[in-house]
Amino acid sequence: MTGLLEISQLAKRFEVGGKRLLYAVDEVTFTIGKGETVGLVGESGCGKSTLVRLINRLLDPTSGSIRLGDTDLAAIRASGFAGNTNRRRVQMVFQDAGDSLNPRFTAFHAIADPLRRLKSLSGVALTARVEALADMTGLPRTLLTRFPHQLSGGQKARVGIARAIAVEPELLILDEPTAALDVSVQVVILQLLQTLKRELGMSYLFVSHDLNVVRLLCDRVLVMYLGKIVEAGPASEVFADAKHPYTRALISAIPQADPDKRVGRLRLGGEPRSPIDPDPKVCRFYGRCPTGEPRCAEQMPALRDVGPDRQVACHFA
Amino acid sequence: MSAIPALAVDNLSVEFRTRSGIVKVLEHVSFSVGKGETIALVGESGSGKSVTAFAVMGILDAAGKVTSGTAMFGGSDLLKQSERDLAELRGRELSMIFQNPRTALNPIRRVGQQIADVLVRHGGATRADAPKLAIEMLKKVRIPDPERRAEAYPFEMSGGMCQRIMIAIALACRPALLIADEPTTGLDVTTQAVIMDLIGELGRDSGMATIFITHDLALAAEYCDRIVVMHAGHIVESAPSQTLFADPRHPYTAKLLAATPGETASLAELVSIPGNLPDLRREDLPACRYSGRCERLVGRCAEPLPHQTIGDRHGIACWNPL
Ligand SMILES: Nc1ncnc2c1ncn2[C@@H]1O[C@H](COP(=O)(O)OP(=O)(O)OP(=O)(O)O)[C@@H](O)[C@H]1O
Ligand SMILES: Nc1ncnc2c1ncn2[C@@H]1O[C@H](COP(=O)(O)OP(=O)(O)OP(=O)(O)O)[C@@H](O)[C@H]1O
Ligand code: SF4
Ligand SMILES: [Mg+2]
Ligand SMILES: [Mg+2]
């Protein structure tokens, strides 16, 4: 698979008073192939949204590179990205479709907006394209005149997706796109995403806390813990045979309706380490890790290959 | 679980006045939560879960009106309390975690202070003790480095961290009744487990009753004692969690379960629920509000709904259950 997005040593550190730095994303490296769906999972606060905002150029990285095809996006300042020709190549669907839609824009206006700005469409051509997008995302055309508050959660999610794919991005980033949706609407949206991917050949970076959804939708999965990628591999393999102790704990915590499936659960004890000025020698998971040993406090495990297309950052994997 | 309910809602109906007519959002809703018990309220978007919570808390939108029912809490009817008494109860006895955490936090106040404020106002803590207690709460909801992160503003926190700050605020005063409206949607499953355990602990230790609103049926089954299923403002089924999963009887419940990604092998196996919620503004709403979407429709479904119970705790409102 040819690489579409190549992230190398990407870091974002926030200043949090005094000379202290919060390591939100810490020298992360990965690639996304053309037409590939990559899931990004990890603990709340581990840096997923920050990573996404770096790639989408809403935030400037502290260091590292973001190559999309042959362009280094990291070299373009976030403030100047809106007018950049590369803008349309990366689009984003936000967690709360409701909050991210302009309340004064009708559905039509919301979908038309990027087409006007980034593709200079107008008149009949614009209307035709908006209607085609509504059809593609299963949004009844009669709803195009409605404002966000007149639409249901699922309908707003469709508007958000229609708007994001309007300019035919090469990479679509979705940050918890179905978290606010009920299971029935979620099914429709997930199946829609799968169809769109087949038809348009886009790549997805899909951030989610729903591991069952990631397993079903994604080709590959990246697992983050406190700013670092700790495991990466094909979704089916990672879910069937997780190598990193954090990934194992995560999978083992998936809620189970059947009590028999809850036996042998791995519950993490200990205190999570601070993201502020972390010790560069200590594994970020040390202290909560069930397999941690003194060595883990002396040498940070690097992300290394442990089989075809599988990587883990743990001394003992 | 004790025999005396902490909250008993009986025959609650709520209407909203809108420009295009009266919307009958809740009709004859009845359920109860025991001391120390956790019940889940599930159902599609728009089924009336949040409105039920708002009615009980006395914070319905001005356009909304309770047209029937009682909500007995500690010997008095919440629906008949004065605004002043209710305001007194909220925060101390009744606590709610709202669906939209980031907007519910004060953007220009440090998160530790926001928790401390609640502890002082409702929890009997002194100004001097409150900051330490607030850090204690941050620790309980798993914010790493709580001493330093107490100094952060909401915008410096991740989505899930804001959600946990809201949870810390809601739990700070050990309420007798907690209503949690999708409190863990932004949390990974290990952190979610910690939060659910924390809620469970407060249930056991201080008898807190919890109404847990969620879209995640497996989560409800794992952590809640009972599940109450709502559809278009009606309660259609209610049962102990295990029973509901093993033996769903209402056709709608079965459809909800079929849409849930669990052990499923592919996306294609999941089935969304056909049709939509009926338009609740209609004058001629059918007796069964699911009938327009139901595959098991029979002639009797047009008659007023029966409320049958199987055993002593499994209730179904359906003429032709599975
Ligand atoms: N503007 C900021 N200033 C300081 N710290 C920040 C800022 N934005 C994010 N952070 C911190 O960076 C870390 C990563 O946050 P991020 O929002 O990327 O997490 P996340 O993985 O998306 O979490 P969640 O799953 O809860 O959404 C957190 O510790 C957060 O507090
Ligand atoms: N202020 C209002 N005016 C008119 N209708 C309203 C108002 N507030 C809520 N409703 C309607 O009441 C119904 C129930 O809404 P509610 O917010 O309780 O749904 P919910 O079950 O919480 O859904 P979700 O899962 O999306 O949060 C919906 O049809 C909604 O449109
Ligand atoms: S390196 Fe050590 S502490 Fe880190 S995950 Fe592996 S075993 Fe655990
Ligand atoms: Mg996030
Ligand atoms: Mg709601």
CA atoms within 13 Å, Cβ hemisphere of A63: 5
> Which of A99, A151, A182 gets mutated to test ligand 2 (max ligand atoms within 8 A of its CB)?
A182
B270–A191 C-beta distance less than 8 A: yes
- pLDDT tens readout for residues A264-280: 788 888 888 999 999 99
Q: For residue B273, give the chain A residue with the closest CA.
A: A184
- In terms of Cβ atoms closer than 10 Å to its own Cβ (0-12, 13-18, 19+), residue A171 is buried
In the prediction, which pLDDT does B1 show?
A: 45
pLDDT at res. A129: 94
Percent with pLDDT over 90 in chain A: 59
Q: Which residue has the tokens 């959002």?
A: B25
pLDDT of residue A267: 82
Among the listed residues A71, A70, A36, A73, the one whose alpha carbon sits nearest the alpha carbon of residue A58: A73
Nearest Cα residue to atom 28 of ligand 2: B46
Euclidean distance between CA atoms A89 and A165, whole angstroms: 10
**CB distance B217–A254 less than 8 Å?**
no
Which of B49, B267, B271 would you mutate first to test chain A, the one with the most A CBs within 10 A?
A: B267
Local structure of residue A224 (DSSP, 8 states): E
CATH top-level class for B5-82+176-316? alpha beta
Does the beta-carbon distance from A274 to B43 stay under 8 Å? no
CA-proximal residue: ligand 2, atom 5 (nearest)? B16
Going by the DSSP 8-state scheme, the letter that residue B74 receives in this structure is T
- Per the CB < 8 Å rule, is A44 touching B259? no
Q: Where are the domains of chain A?
A: 3-277
Pairwise CA distance, residues B174 & B91, whole Å:
9
> How many CA within 13 A on the CB side of residue B281?
6
Per-residue pLDDT of chain B (322 residues; tens, 9 = 90+): 446 789 999 999 999 988 878 889 999 999 999 999 999 999 988 899 999 999 999 999 888 999 999 999 988 999 999 988 898 888 789 999 987 766 788 999 999 999 999 999 888 889 999 999 999 999 999 999 999 999 999 999 998 899 999 999 999 889 999 999 989 988 999 999 999 999 999 999 999 999 999 988 999 999 999 999 999 999 999 999 999 999 999 999 999 998 888 877 788 888 888 888 888 888 888 999 999 999 999 999 999 988 888 877 899 999 999 9
- Position A297 confidence tier, pLDDT thresholds 50, 70, 90: very high
For residue A304, give how far its alpha carbon lies from the nearest alpha carbon of chain B (Å).
25
Q: What is the pLDDT of residue B2?
A: 47
Give me the DSSP letters along B148-217: HHTT--GGGS-HHHHHHHHHHHHHTT--SEEEEESTTTTS-HHHHHHHHHHHHHHHHHH--EEEEE-S-H
Q: Residue of the nearest CA to atom 5 in ligand 3?
A: A314
Answer yes or no: do A14 and B145 touch at CB < 8 A.
Answer: no
Domain ranges of chain B: 5-82+176-316, 102-174
Where does the pLDDT of residue A220 fall: very low under 50, low under 70, confident under 90, or very high at 90 and above?
very high
Q: How far apart are CA B178 and CA B94, in angstroms?
A: 6
Compute the distance from residue B47 Cα to the ligand 5 centre, in Å: 8
Give dist(CA A4, CA A32) in Å, integer: 6
Q: Which ligand is nearest to the CA of B157?
A: 1
For residue A113, count other CB atoms closer than 10 A to its CB: 15
Nearest chain A residue (CA) to B274: A184
pTM over 0.95: no
For residue B52, how far is its CA from the centre of ligand 2 (angstroms)? 9
Under a CB-based contact definition with an 8 Å cutoff, are residues A12 and A24 in contact?
yes
Interchain CB distance below 8 Å, A183 and B260: yes
Q: In terms of pLDDT, which residue wins out, A179 or B102?
A: A179
Mean pLDDT score of chain A: 90
- Give the one of A183, A209, A275 whose C-beta lies nearest to B144's C-beta: A275
Q: Please check the confidence at residue A196 and state whether its pLDDT lies above 90.
A: no
How far apart are the C-alpha atoms of A243 and A33, rounded to whole Å?
23
- For ligand 2, is residue A290 a contact (CB within 6 Å)? no
B102: which 2 tokens? 């980031």
Looking at A5-19, A205-219, A256-270, B63-77, which range is the least confident one?
A: A256-270
Q: Do B262 and A257 touch (CB under 8 A)?
A: yes
Euclidean distance between the first and final Cα of chain A, in Å? 26
Using CA atoms, how far apart are residues A50 and A78, in angstroms rounded to an integer? Answer: 13
Structure confidence at residue A98 (pLDDT): 63
Look at chain B and count its residues: 322
Class of domain A3-277: alpha beta
Q: Is the CB of B25 under 6 A from ligand 2?
A: yes
Is a pLDDT exceeding 90 seen at residue A96? no
Does the CB atom of residue A80 touch ligand 1 within 6 A?
Answer: no
Q: What residue of B is the nearest CA neighbor of A236? A: B265
Name the residue with higher pLDDT: A192 or A283: A283
To test the contact with chain B by mutation, choose from A23, A40, A44 the residue with the greatest count of B C-beta atoms within 10 A, namely A44
* Residue at A158: amino acid letter: R
Smallest Cα–Cα separation from A216: which of A245, A177, A187, A253?
A187
